[in-house]
Amino acid sequence: MMTQSSSSQFWLTRPFGERATQIFLGVLFAALLLVTVLHLAVPQGHPLHVNAYTVNLFGKYLSYALLAVAVDLVWGYLGILSLGHGAFFAIGGYAMGMYLMRQIGDRGTYGDPILPDFMVFLSWDSLPWYWLGFDMAWFAFAMVLLAPGLLALVFGFLAFRSRVTGVYLSIITQALTFALMLAFFRNEMGFGGNNGLTDFRELLGFNLRTNDTRLGLFIATGVALALGYILCRAIVTSKLGRVCVATRDAEARTRFIGYRVERFQLFVFVVSAMLAGLAGALYVPQVGIINPSEFSPIFSIEIVLWVALGGRATLYGAVIGAILVNYAKTIFTGVMPDAWLFALGAMFVLVTVFLPKGVAGLLLHLKRRKKPVTPPKEATA
């Protein structure tokens, strides 16, 4: 019995091997292509036509999927249950939002060529220093990665150096995102307070309100997801990935064989935070707003639920989970808005009880029943 469970746990760390990546990327690109064709080539009114609203919705799901992959990297492989990844997502989103705000120029309600509307409203007469440079795309896009990365670096350095792990780390990540939410709610912070940043118009010169830009953002998000997936895949299949799994399962032991565990944790945590920031930056132009609610602790917990539901330590499971839950959320909040939280809770309970390895575990189980898995000879080579 014990043999059974350990060996399935083993295969969960690299189910399907390299095939998984190929299948995942194949499905992803097929889906991108299909949606594009159904949107552009099928005439409106035809039952197969995918309208701009749906394309936009899918784009949002894909950015959530990238966020889930980032969480799976630290939780699934490194065993760090971050309940604050929403913060990195939101900071990436704010960096993008600041760029988009500066792009509005003098077309805002108050017509100020430099100051965003909310600053004029607060009677500020100049841009705060941390808004400088965000009119340049390259600077803003760099900040999308660097700002969450820097926060993760400082936070992770302090946490991992003091060997804070497990449930304590989860609690302080939760506190981090909560503290940031409260801070961003304040008007004095200069990020639009309660209302956040909105009323965006153009991204790199493309009008955000046209269908073509929405399709472009959808495809860009899909490509970013693919690249993020490939990056995470490269990390987890490297020797460093095996050190991560070793750290997850026996941290003290890993330290004893000579790895500076806290540096590995920090490295992977920062990479994950940057991916989350990228996901946030792709999310914001698609939903048209970024406000402090993205920092809410509940959102960060929800991300973890996506990963748990899809199956941790598989990467593609995180994608499946993010898309499934958010699709269900769209449907439920449309049909019976009050029932959504109950449905989410029920889904989580059912998955925990019947599918402890998530949807990915189910797929794996079905595959194994079809044909017995023989250990690949080159698995470790």
Partner 1 sequence: MSLLQSLTTRDRVFDFMAPQASPVDVRHGPILYMEDVSVSFDGFKAINNLNLTIDDGELRCIIGPNGAGKTTMMDIITGKTRPNEGSVWFGSRHNLLQMNEPDIASLGIGRKFQKPTVFEALSVFENLELAMAADKRILPTLTARMTGEIKDRIDDVLETIGLTELRFQPAGILSHGQKQWLEIGMLLMQRPRLLLVDEPVAGMTEQEMERTAELLTGLAGKQSVVVVEHDMGFVRSIARKVTVLHQGSVLAEGSMDQVSSDPSVVEVYLGADDEEAA
Interface of this chain with partner 1, residues 9 to 28, rule: CB under 8 A:
9-10, 12-13
Residue 162 contacts partner 1 per CB under 8 A: no
Helix (H, G, I), strand (E, B) or coil at 62: helix
The rounded distance, in Å, linking the Cα atoms of 61 and 322 is 7
Place of tokens 């108050």: 110
Spatial distance between the Cα atoms of 381 and 374, rounded to a whole number of angstroms: 16
Both tokens of 48, joined, read 């197969």
3 binds partner 1 (CB under 8 A): yes
**CA torsion, points 3, 77, 171, 348, in degrees to nearest 10?**
-60
Considering only the stretches 100-108, 138-146, 248-256, 345-353, report the one whose residues sit in contact with partner 1 under the rule CB under 8 A.
248-256
Within 10 angstroms of residue 370's Cβ, the number of other Cβ atoms is 8
Q: Which of 222, 327, 201 is nearest to 282 (CA)?
A: 222
| Token digits of residue 304 | 């973890």
Q: Does 6 bind partner 1 (CB under 8 A)?
A: yes
Q: Which residue from 240, 324, 355, 373 is in contact with partner 1, where contact means CB under 8 A? A: 240
Q: State which residue, 15 or 59, has the beta carbon closest to partner 1.
A: 15
User: Does 257 engage in binding with partner 1 (CB under 8 A)?
Assistant: yes
Helix (H) or strand (E) holding 206: strand 206-207
| Of the residues 49, 163, 255, 329, which one makes contact with partner 1 according to CB under 8 A | 255
- Whole-Å CA distances, 295 to 93, 243, 258, 287, 339: 11, 31, 37, 16, 23
Which residue in the set 40, 154, 175, 250 belongs to the binding site for partner 1 (CB under 8 A)?
250
Q: Between 111 and 356, name the residue whose CB sits nearer to partner 1.
A: 356
Residue 121 found at the interface with partner 1 (CB under 8 A): no
372 binds partner 1 (CB under 8 A): no
Binding span for partner 1 by CB under 8 A among 157-165, 211-219, 238-246, 314-322: 238-246
Residues at the interface with partner 1 (CB under 8 A): 2-3, 6-7, 9-10, 12-13, 235, 238-240, 242-243, 245-246, 248-250, 252-260, 263-264, 267, 375, 377, 379-381
